[in-house]
Amino acid sequence: MSGRLQGRRALVTGSTSNIGRAIAEAFAAEGAHVVVSGRSAERGEAVVAGIRARGGRADFVRSNLDGGAAASEALAGSAAAVLGGGIDILVNNAGIYPGDTTPGTDEKTFDEVYAVNVKAPFFLTAAIAPAMAEAGGGAIINLGSWIARLGVPMGALYSSTKGAMETLTRAWAAEFGPRGVRVNAISPGVVLEPGPGAPSPGEAMMNGTPAGRMGDPGAIAHAAVYLASEEAAFVHGTTLDVDGGRTTTAVIAA
C-alpha cells in the first residue's frame, strides 16, 4: 500500500465482519490507526489481531449502537480516547437488514431498524463532526445501498433507512463541509464475503449488469480509502455507486 491515510485516526462501526471489516483492514494497510467496533468482542479482537499481524495499528471498542444517543456518544468518547484524543475519519457502516415484506414488518422491527440504521449514525455524527471541525477537518463516510434507488419487492424498510442516510450525507455536507469536514457516501451493490458454499441468490440480481457478478467487500473498501484520502479533497456530498452498474446500466445480451 502507499500510506494514503498515514497518521489518520479512524472509527469504523460494524467492522467485525463483511464490508466494515474490509474497510478497517484497508484503512490500516494505508497507515491509519483504526478503531474496530461492533457487538462481538471475539470477532472484533480477531479483526484487530489480523491487522496487527500485518503491521497495522488497530484497537477494538465494543459497542451496541441501539439508536440511543448515549450509546453513540459513549462510542465516540471511547474511540477518541483510544486513538489519542481525536477522530479524523468516521465510517457509519453498522446496520441491520430484515428482508421482509411491508405487511410482514411489525412495529417493533420498524423501530429497531430505524434506531440502528439511522438514529445511531445520526447521533454518532453529532458527537464527532463538531470535534473534527474544531481540529481542522475530517472525513465522514456513510453506507447507503443500491436498493435505496432501485426498487425491489422485498426490504422496503431497509431501503428507506439507506435512502435516509444518503439524504443525511448531502445535508451534513452542507452543514459541516464549510468547516472542513467532508461528508460522502458509498452505495454498495450486491456484495458477498468470499468463501465456500452454495451459490447465493444475490447472483441473479447482478444478471444484465456490466459487471455480471456480485462484488466483494474489498471493492467497497477501496472506495472508502479514496473518499477518506486527500485524493477526494474536492468531493463533498456525493454518493459513490460501487454496484457493478446495477442502478445505472442494463446490458442486453445478444
Q: Is residue 158 flagged as an active site residue?
A: yes
**The residue to which cell 454498495 is assigned:** 188
d(CA 72, CA 49): 25
Kindly name the residue from 97, 114, 158, 226 that is annotated as catalytic.
158
Cell of 180: 472542513
CA dihedral of 130, 128, 11, 162, whole degrees rounded to 10? -100
User: Looking at residue 176, what is its pLDDT?
Assistant: 98
Give the contacts of 28 (CB within 8 A, at least 6 positions apart): 34, 51, 54, 56, 57, 58
Residues 23-78: pLDDT tens digits?
A: 999 999 999 999 999 999 999 999 999 999 999 999 999 999 999 999 999 999 99
Give the contacts of 68 (CB within 8 A, at least 6 positions apart): 115, 119, 120, 123
pLDDT band at 223 (very low <50, low <70, confident <90, very high): very high
User: Looking at residue 195, what is its pLDDT?
Assistant: 62
Give the contacts of 55 (CB within 8 A, at least 6 positions apart): none
**The residue to which cell 459513549 is assigned:** 74
**The residue to which cell 420498524 is assigned:** 110
Percent of the chain with pLDDT over 70: 96
Query: Which amino acid, 217?
Result: P
User: With a threshold of 0.75, does the pTM exceed it?
Assistant: yes
254 pLDDT above the threshold of 50: no
pLDDT band at 201 (very low <50, low <70, confident <90, very high): low
Span 9-242 CATH architecture: 3-Layer(aba) Sandwich (3.40)
User: Looking at residue 197, what is its pLDDT?
Assistant: 62
